[in-house]
Amino acid sequence: MKTAIIGIGLIGGSFALSLKEHGLSDEVWGIDKSEQNQNKALELGLVDRIVTLDEAVAGTDLIVLATPVDTIPLLAVKLLNKVNERQVVMDMGSIKTELCEVIDRHPNRGRFVATHPMWGTEYSGPEAAVKGAFTGRTVVICNREQSDPDALKLVENIYSTIGMPIVYMAAEDQDLHSAYVSHISHITSFALALTVLEKEREEEHIFDLAGGGFESTVRLAKSSARMWVPILLQNKYNILDVLREHIHQLQIFRRMIERDDVKGLTTAMEKANTIKRILK
């Protein structure tokens, strides 16, 4: 099998490494708008050659979209316009509703498999690609009934071989759930970083004390705007819901602190402690 990956950054680059590591693809071709990324991806051995979109369509069996989510729906349509009845197109973006709506009526819809592998780091670009990245993480496949059985099977086989448990969801559910367990963490990290950077203007030594707890909560604030702005906007309504609830919870904390409400704070923290159940 030959694979083309569009967008050879953190996600696409790591996926290329996984395909090679597990012998899933004889060749991996790369497509990227940035010449710098093209050179870096070749240099790091993420891909065997750099090609154009038409070369990818002419010469590969599987085409993978790993670009920022705002570019995925249109690229998906363009690819579905061109592929034949044996080729498969898949995406790795973290939002699915708009994508699935856009390709819903396409005569080649069956050749597309919409996936969201739940892995990422705060870094970006080909140099951020990591070997063994996805293994052990969950992958979501959305609206599987719309994919042709052979296309679905090909993609399921890849993820299973990499060692990823597969969860099936409707696109809308996956976007809602991602807002709660992934997207909101990024917003709170960005906002926390800004809060402290703001204070640093008055208090220059404020970071002398930055310890382990701080580091783990603001780590995601290093994430790339090019990747995250489109995610927040494409998943706008779910994200506004969770953000409203999160601000509400912080306001409750604020009021309890203002009132020295030991009992309320204790109850809230003990309830929050039950998150243990879902963390290792």
Question: Footprint of its own copies on residues 142-171 (CB under 8 A)?
Answer: 167
Q: How far is the CB of 238 from its own copies (least distance, A)?
A: 10
* 193 forms part of the interface with its own copies (CB under 8 A): yes
Q: Which range in 35-43, 96-104, 143-151, 183-191 contacts its own copies by CB under 8 A? A: 183-191
* 84 forms part of the interface with its own copies (CB under 8 A): no
| Binding residues for its own copies restricted to 96-135, rule: CB under 8 A | 118-121
Q: How far is the CB of 12 from its own copies (least distance, A)?
A: 18
| HEC letters along the chain | CEEEEECCCHHHHHHHHHHHHCCCCCEEEEECCCHHHHHHHHHCCCCCEECCHHHHHHHCCEEEECCCHHHHHHHHHHHHHHCCCCCEEEECCCCCHHHHHHHCCCCCHHHEEEEEECCCCCCCCHHHCCCCCCCCCCEEEECHHHCCHHHHHHHHHHHHHHCCCEEEECHHHHHHHHHHHHHHHHHHHHHHHHHHHHHHCCCCCHHHHCCHHHHHHHHHHHCCHHHHHHHHHHCHHHHHHHHHHHHHHHHHHHHHHHCCCHHHHHHHHHHHHHHHHHCC
Q: How far is the CB of 169 from its own copies (least distance, A)?
A: 8
Per-residue contact string for residues 34-63; x = within reach of its own copies by CB under 8 A: ------------------------------
* 239 forms part of the interface with its own copies (CB under 8 A): yes
* 215 forms part of the interface with its own copies (CB under 8 A): yes
* 198 forms part of the interface with its own copies (CB under 8 A): yes
Select from 58, 161, 185, 201 the one that contacts its own copies (CB under 8 A): 185
Toward its own copies, which CB reaches closer, 47 or 142? 142
Toward its own copies, which CB reaches closer, 77 or 192? 192
Per-residue contact string for residues 249-278; x = within reach of its own copies by CB under 8 A: xxxxxx--xx-x-x--xx-xxxxxxxxx-x
